[in-house]
Amino acid sequence: MVVSRADMGAESPVVMGASQDQPSIKQTQLTPYFELNGVRLYKEDCLKGMQAVLQPGSVDVVVTSPPYNIGVKYNAYEDTRPKQDYLDWMERVGVAVRRILSDKGSFFLNVGGTLKDPWIPLEIAERMRKTFALQNTIHWIKSIAIPKRDAGKYENIKGDIAVGHYKPIGGKRFLNDAHEYIFHFTKDGDVELDRLAVGVPYQDKSNIGRWKKAQRDLRDRGNTWFIPYETIWDRETQRPHPSTFPVSLPEMCIKVHGLDRTRLVLDPFVGIGTTALASLKVRKPCIGFDVDEAYLKEASERVKAFKSSTEPLGNSQGTD
């Protein structure tokens, strides 16, 4: 089913927050599966879709999490390819992303492995090395435990801390895997970031003014990002996808790149539309590709639900 503007009784799409020249979108015969409020979703393989839809240098931020090749049960994708075939494919994705990424753009690639094969994300990063500079390595922390004695003497920390998503594992060989990588790739490794856009207050307020760059109660979060999942009660209805990240993850990636430098966001593996929702939150247009119609249908419903829960957005530029 293709959900169009006519299906929803909408007028032309509203695109948010493009503060620079409008990004160049190709005139193409490829019809969006869904289009609303600056979000365009295509039922298409991302390699074909990026070539058909996007002009060179037209995207400023790419945030995505591809299949990890670990046997996850997707609807329309086989996640158990031979290792070299998979890595060759990911390398081609990287080349395609470089073509459409602006010269000062950011490519945030979230990947993880398994306890038995922890090399997967590092092998992907090594393949990307042929195409990109690895400017930052961010660790997505899903669960963390900090004893009170290690947290220090702070007024707002009353006891031991144990927060985040935790699922016990069997056996005696492995530690519970509580993190994934977010590799921040750029073309030349020299992209300026807006670190304080995802900053945190100082725990020790005496640090404010101690250094020249500490003039207010906000500091760089660093490259360890604690981002928990929202608590759900029914995975089938609340998170109908076997492998997603929280909305806060792509939102933080877009913000740290810099909202004033972001014209267009892309997620080549958009799934159920989490990156699209993050883009809506920061009022930036987004394009996404996926081969699974069931996931795209869910993404469409999530985007529509988000729109209906917010005030009307003003007109801006961004797509043709």
Mean pLDDT for 39-55 is: 97
Return the closest-CA partner of residue 132 out of 152, 148, 109: 109
Which has more pLDDT, 34 or 210? 34
Instruction: Summarize pLDDT for 62-98 with one digit per residue, the tens.
Output: 999 998 877 666 566 666 788 999 999 999 999 999 9
- The 8-class DSSP code of residue 207 comes to G
Where along the chain do its domains lie? 34-193+227-308
Q: Given a cut of 70, is residue 6 above it in pLDDT?
A: no
Mean pLDDT for 104-117 is: 94
Residue pair 188/207 in contact by the 8 Å Cβ criterion: no
Mean pLDDT for 200-229 is: 85
Residue pair 261/230 in contact by the 8 Å Cβ criterion: no
Which pLDDT does position 258 carry in this prediction?
Answer: 98
Return the closest-CA partner of residue 37 out of 8, 15, 5: 15
Q: What is the mean pLDDT of the chain?
A: 84
Could you tell me the pTM of the whole model?
Answer: 0.85
Which pLDDT does position 151 carry in this prediction?
Answer: 84
Which pLDDT does position 14 carry in this prediction?
Answer: 37
> Residue 76 is which amino acid?
A
Q: Given a cut of 50, is residue 320 above it in pLDDT?
A: no
Q: Given a cut of 80, is residue 274 above it in pLDDT?
A: yes
CA angle (164, 169, 171) in 5-degree steps: 150
Return the closest-CA partner of residue 61 out of 32, 100, 16: 100
Which residue do the tokens 């404010």 mark? 208
Tally helices (H) and strands (E) across the chain: 8, 11
- Distance, in Å, from the CA atom of 76 to the CA atom of 69, rounded to the nearest integer, reads 14
Mean pLDDT for 252-275 is: 97
Task: Could you please state the CATH topology (level 3) that the domain comprising 34-193+227-308 is classified under.
Answer: Rossmann fold (3.40.50)
